[in-house]
Amino acid sequence: MTSVGYGTGTIKFVPNNKQSPSLNYSQRSLIEVLQLDIGGYSLRACDLDNKKEKIFDFQFKNSDFYKFAHSPNQRDEIRHNDGTYYVSLNQHARTQFHKALRQCFELLESKNQQSADVDSAIFVEIHNLSEYIQHGEANKADELIKKLIKSGVQLQVKHLKEPLDEQTFPIRIKIDGFDSDITDLNKFFDVDVYPSTTVHELRAFFEYTLKFPLANQYFFVNGHLAHAESTMNDLKVKNGSLFVLFLIKK
């Protein structure tokens, strides 16, 4: 990993649980943004005056968790699942650290947008595969199957009685779960689907895009568990319907 930027100052942690005490770290607390060898970025902090005690260390994929202070007299805020870290950076390092972190956020935003544009095409390709098979276009189907398998999409055979003539529509998916290590917890994703798109295909989509194992994913809609073989039409979802993707750790 490579250090992109760092700063020193005082860090205070205020837990969401009001019954738990706040934690105050020394004025020589170090906060650092790192570029990971496997791709992506992480933010970590330690207390230099207390045997380099770890304050936090987590990977991030967007800028939602970090709030920049508007002036040197204010504190940055880092929102975590368990509470909020308040960071007062020393002036001489504050500007450079903010600049480095903002550059990381800009790169991630650009990458996420490109990824979303590509990933949304997966459902279109799965839909096209169904049409190729129905119309006997074996060569096109074979090439598309190879492409989907190479990209990591897990396919299932489904026998169709009638040709599909469908239009996509958007649904919204919220990530939920008990695991505090999930970086996308409480984040919303907008996904375009077909009426014939199955819950299994949604699970494969999130396994491919966010590396969530299939066995760890449970989709809920309208307060009920959505079974893998159910289609959007079966579930009677429509434009803008909300799914909850609940993740468990196995």
- The CA distance from 165 to 250, in Å, is 39
Look at residue 3 and tell me if it is in a domain.
no
Is the distance from CB of 44 to CB of 78 less than 8 angstroms? no
Look at residue 17 and tell me if it is in a domain.
no
Position 31 pLDDT exceeds 50: yes
Is the distance from CB of 31 to CB of 45 less than 8 angstroms? yes
Which tokens hold the place of 118?
A: 């590509």
Look at residue 213 and tell me if it is in a domain.
yes
Look at residue 193 and tell me if it is in a domain.
yes
Residues 99 and 66 in one domain: yes
Which among 102, 84, 82 is positioned nearest to 94, based on CA atoms?
A: 102
**Other C-beta atoms lying within 10 Å of the C-beta of residue 72:** 11
- Report the number of distinct structural domains present in the chain: 3
Look at residue 66 and tell me if it is in a domain.
yes
Residues 132 and 77 in one domain: no
Residues 242 and 190 in one domain: yes
CA angle centred on 209, ends 203 and 212, rounded to 5°? 55
Question: pTM to 2 decimals?
Answer: 0.48
pLDDT band, very low/low/confident/very high, at 201 (cuts 50, 70, 90):
confident
Position 186 pLDDT exceeds 90: no
Going from the C-alpha of 157 to that of each of 35, 113, 205, the distances in angstroms are 41, 31, 16
| Average pLDDT value for the chain | 81
Residues 122 and 173 in one domain: no
Considering only residues 246 and 40, tell me which one the structure prediction assigns the higher pLDDT: 246
Per-residue confidence (pLDDT) for residue 83, from 0 to 100: 93
The half-sphere exposure of 30 on its side-chain side, counting CA atoms within 13 A, is 15
Range of the domain at 99: 31-110
Percent of the chain with pLDDT over 70: 76
Residues 51 and 91 in one domain: yes
Residues 218 and 242 in one domain: yes
DSSP SS3 for 188: strand
Where do we find the tokens 């074996």? 138
Residues 99 and 37 in one domain: yes
Is the distance from CB of 59 to CB of 33 less than 8 angstroms? no
